[in-house]
Amino acid sequence: MRKLLDEIDGGRFEISVTGLSISPGDGALSCSLLARSSSPAFFSWLRRELRANWEAAAPGDEGAPIEFVRIDDQLIDEWAVQGRLDPSSIMAIDLARKALNRRDDDQRED
């Protein structure tokens, strides 16, 4: 946690809210967040240290390293079509993609 706080304090890590939704299935409220880091060293540390918990891992793979893929990777769309992502995850990814596209458009205009 200290490492994350150091990144935030150093201006190299930010979190923004991209949207809220309510699941029609169970009424659960989902808050979609986008985390961005400009530190290659911090990202390398995350890749080494993060492990899947029981909710994210396949049975028997708890504690396995988390696989990172680019948000624009076609693999994510394939997972969505195959039903491997739940609707709230698909919504969060879509909102994150839109937020990143808006940011890229704003930077091109500057």
pTM passes above 0.95: no
Q: Please tell me which residue, 29 or 108, carries the higher pLDDT value.
A: 29
User: 110 falls in which pLDDT band (50, 70, 90)?
Assistant: low
State pLDDT tens for residues 48-90.
888 877 777 777 777 777 788 999 999 999 999 999 888 888 9
Mean pLDDT of the chain: 87
Phi, psi torsion values for 98, nearest 5 degrees = -65, -40
Question: What angle, rounded to 10 degrees, do the helices at 87-109 and 74-81 form?
Answer: 150
Is there a contact between 36 and 71 (Cβ–Cβ < 8 Å)?
no
Q: What is the 3-state secondary structure (H, E, C) of 31-95?
A: EEEEEEECCHHHHHHHHHHCECCCCCCCCCCCCCECCCCCCCCHHHHHHHHCCCCCHHHHHHHHH
Quick one: which of 78, 105, 87 has its CA closest to 32?
87
Rounded CA-CA distance 99/106 in Å is: 11
